[in-house]
Amino acid sequence: MDNIKAYIEENKERFLEELFGLIRIPSISSIEANKPEMYKAAVYWKQLMLNAGADKAVVMETEGNPVTYGEKIIDPKLPTVMVYGHMDVMPVDPINLWDTDPFEPVIKDGKIWARGADDDKGQAFMHAKAFEYMVKNNCLPCNVKFMIEGEEEVGSPNLPKFCEEHKEMLQADVILVSDTGMIAPDIPSITTGLRGLMYWEVEVTGPNRDLHSGLFGGAVANPINVLAKMITQMVDDNGHITIPGFYDDVIEVTKEERAMMAEAPFDVEEYKKAIDVKELAGEKGYTPSEHTGIRPSFDVCGIWGGYIGEGAKTVLPSKAYAKISTRLVPNQNWEKISVLFKEHFEAIAPDCVKVVVTPLHGGQGYVCPIDFPAYIAADKAYTEVYGKRPVPVRSGGSIPIISSFEEILGIKSVLMGFGLESDAIHSPNENFPLEQFFNGINTIPLFYKYFAELKK
């Protein structure tokens, strides 16, 4: 694999143009009207796999958006790596905050700017090109399968059933994922833990119609005011979530592991400066990196109601809404948390309103042991490319399907991410540094090399 850098240099313009073709497809899974775009992305991935050297690639149906599956089996006796990624992306709102067209990628300041540049079109695409290199240079050391789904950004609701129905087809020794990040461009890291997730929509109804705020204000409860007050009761002044039973299954991380985590470089002042805030918040007794890595959190992701148009309208609204999520740590069961929140939120509602809590999606957390052969292979690969060993970190993010893979298929995953905090995933002006993109293509073949050696 000595000529990987030369191969990247010779083909980098083609790589980028092929990636841009994928990015230009507005495959937003949360918008039903975009479903045709999901099929365009699935077909695009099918062609990418075949062009890279897959023996077979097919677009497969689920009850929701399609999955593109591909494989190259060079010897059934050899280990098999299954690459997982997703073709869907987050919505682009608020569109006015983008500096460029989110679906027309541009290169500026050494970065690709577009929705999906990092999450996950750019990172998943690295695997297609690494695979292409290994096939064309006759250095693929094991079997490879690809599973690229179209619903990760909405919680992968149909992929568990897909896995159940295709267990034999999806058998592998490890699942390789690039949908996470690194500490910094010069500090590689491997994500060893993911938080779980539960997401709800809340509807609070007061009067049976919008009312005149002068004629009724002060006598009739305003559902927006009530909703805001209810939300403030969810977290106390110490940053502790107040839902009864919420922490029952939380396993406290040992002092030894917290000490290891503390060795990862983290500059609080730079962190605050990067997101332009004066002070941080969080649960008392824990550091910012622990807040996002080993502790649960509670957040309002959106809130609306009443009049939000131009100018003024003196109205006491009939309804108020919120999108609410909680990130969970391993061992917390998302289904249990879903019930606990619903029961508690409805119980604290005053009689002047009616409350409906609708669960939207959720998933378990995940932990990857650092003595796992695939982790060791990833460690060696990063070390060779970046010149230093990667730091094991627990991510605050969630990829709910990862725990489902282990539960349904019995396969562990290794999370080899190349994204950076500054990539602004899920936000306007998402980007992905070209250096990280090409380093990813350089690193992935080395993972295959070391994993195959370790499995002999």
pLDDT digits (tens, 9 = 90+) for 384-417: 999 999 998 888 888 889 999 999 999 999 999 9
pLDDT over 80 at 253, yes or no: yes
Residue whose C-alpha is closest to residue 52's, from 68, 38, 66: 68
Residue 181 token pair: 């990040």
Task: Count CB neighbours of 207 within 10 A.
Answer: 17
In which residue ranges of the chain is CATH 3.30.70.360 found?
196-250+296-362
Beta carbons of 196 and 329 less than 8 angstroms apart: yes
State residue 259's pLDDT score: 83
Does the pLDDT value for residue 1 go beyond 80? no
Confidence tier at 260 by pLDDT (50, 70, 90): confident
pLDDT value at position 349? 98
- Band of pLDDT at residue 12, cut at 50, 70 and 90: very high
Q: Is 381 exposed, middle or buried (0-12, 13-18, 19+ CB in 10 A)?
A: buried
**Distances, alpha carbon 346 to alpha carbons 43, 140, 175, 234, 361, in Å:** 45, 56, 40, 12, 19
Mean pLDDT of 204-215: 98
pLDDT of residue 139: 97
Domain 3-194+365-455 part of CATH 3.30.930.10: no
Is residue 127 within 8 A of residue 441, CB to CB? The reply is no
The reported pLDDT for the residue numbered 261 is: 77
User: What pLDDT is recorded for position 179?
Assistant: 96
Angle between helices 4-23 and 35-52 in degrees, nearest 10:
160
Determine how β-strand 431-433 pairs with β-strand 111-113.
Answer: antiparallel
- Give the model's confidence band at 114: pLDDT under 50 very low, under 70 low, under 90 confident, else very high: very high
Q: Return d(Cα 77, Cα 148) in angstroms, integer.
A: 24
Q: What is the pLDDT of residues 149-196, one digit of tens each?
A: 999 999 899 999 999 999 999 999 999 999 999 999 999 999 999 999
pLDDT in tens, 124-153: 999 999 999 999 999 999 999 999 999 999
Please tell me the distance from the alpha carbon of residue 367 to that of residue 362, in angstroms, as a whole number: 17
Query: 229: which residues sit within 8 A by CB, 6+ positions away?
Result: none
% of the chain exceeding 90 in pLDDT: 91
Q: Where in the chain is the domain with CATH 3.40.630.10?
A: 3-194+365-455
Domain 196-250+296-362 sits in CATH 3.30.70.360: yes
* Dist. CA 28–CA 91, nearest whole Å: 6
Residue whose pair of structure tokens reads 């050297």 in the numeric block:
53
Contact 223, 318 (CB under 8 A): yes
Q: Which residue has the tokens 């919120």?
A: 322
Tokens 């949908």 -> residue: 179
| Predicted local distance difference test score (pLDDT) of residue 340 | 98
pLDDT for res 330:
84
CA atoms of 269 and 274, how far apart (whole Å): 9
Mean pLDDT of 102-119: 98
pTM of this structure: 0.81
Average pLDDT, rounded, for the chain: 96
Query: Quick check: 197 and 398 in contact, CB under 8 A?
Result: yes
Number of neighbouring beta carbons within 10 Å of residue 236: 12
Instruction: Determine the straight-line distance between the first and last CA of the chain, rounded to whole angstroms.
Output: 19
Q: Is the pLDDT of residue 46 over 90?
A: yes
Query: Cβ distance 99 to 429 under 8 Å?
Result: yes
Q: 250 or 258, which is more confident?
A: 250
Q: Angle, to 10 degrees, between the axis of helix 434-454 and the axis of helix 373-386? A: 140
Residue 30 confidence class, pLDDT cut points 50, 70, 90: very high
Q: What is the edge-to-edge ordering of all strands in the sheet holding 431-433?
A: 106-108, 111-113, 431-433
Share of the chain above pLDDT 70, in %: 100
- Taking a C-beta distance cutoff of 8 angstroms, is the pair 86, 149 a contact? yes
